[in-house]
Amino acid sequence: MTDRHSRPHTGRIALVTGSTGGIGFAVAERLAALGADIALHGFGDADQIGRQVAAVADRFGVRVHHFDADFTDAGCFPGLVERINGRLGPVDILVNNAGMQHVCSIVDFPPDKWDAMLAINLSAAFHTIRLCVPAMLARGWGRIVNIASVSGLVGTANKPAYVATKHGLVGLTKSVAMEFATTPVTCNAICPGWVLTPMVQKQVDALGAREGLDGAAAAARLVGAKQPSQTFVTVRQVASLVGYLCSDDAAEVRGAHWNMDGGYVAA
């Protein structure tokens, strides 16, 4: 007999975008531990992704399938959702995590990078939400969690596209939450500070090369400049918050932009 307390999402389907590594994979593991069948999305080495799929399925006893889709192509989304419906079923939990970063002065910022970041960081969430919500409403339950950033709450120099798209994602979250406020479908955003993901590691490496610092010193410099705790947020901590926002206890958490940032915004 399934323990509905420890595995409350048994029988539910979770789509986590950008989930072949970093925050997204940690979120996928957390939701699988709670009983959800998982639609992994993202790019990477095919053999490595195959091992990830098998490991999550074996460890948590859930169905796991990988789906690739290029989010810079707005036409990919109907096909993606149709494939998920065919392999797993309608999406009950949607976690919009896919994102990219480019650090550069706006004067020199490549327009193609702007367009790609707008598509992946913001427009993708619009498309997945609009296509997944009807089934959530029909089934009488749904959770949408958008992984934004502390950069969705404050500005940062040399990150014009990232800041703009993450602010937009917070705004989208509020609008969707208000639209479905009288339904069992909730929408919230998580705004992490510095999380030591591969994307952030690139910034650590760039800082180290620029300032002549070793890896540990560069990481300390980066996180210490903004995060009063002097400590990176972990992917597991973000995943645990996603788990809470997808729970029945969070049924009246609606339109929140929950910062998890070691005191970044409080400073």
Whether pLDDT at 1 is above 60: no
Q: Exposed, middle or buried: residue 238 (CB in 10 Å: 0-12, 13-18, 19+)?
A: buried
Q: Could you give the CA distance from residue 176 to residue 130 in angstroms, rounded to a whole number?
A: 10
Whether pLDDT at 199 is above 90: no
pTM: 0.94
pLDDT tens-digit map of 94-131 = 999 999 999 999 999 999 999 999 999 999 999 999 99
Residue of 25, 162, 180, 232 with catalytic role = 162
Share of the chain above pLDDT 90, in %: 88
Instruction: Identify the pLDDT of residue 4.
Output: 65
Instruction: Identify the pLDDT of residue 267.
Output: 79
Q: Which residue has the tokens 């706006």?
A: 106
pLDDT tens-digit map of 132-181 = 999 999 999 999 999 999 999 999 999 999 999 999 999 999 999 999 99
Q: In which order are the strands placed within the sheet that holds 64-67?
A: 64-67, 37-41, 13-16, 93-96, 142-147, 185-192, 257-260
Write the DSSP symbol of residue 118: I
Instruction: Identify the pLDDT of residue 146.
Output: 98
Q: Are the C-beta atoms of 159 and 103 separated by less than 8 Å?
A: yes
pLDDT tens-digit map of 39-63 = 999 999 999 999 999 999 999 999 9
To the query of whether residue 162 is one of the catalytic residues in this protein, the response is yes
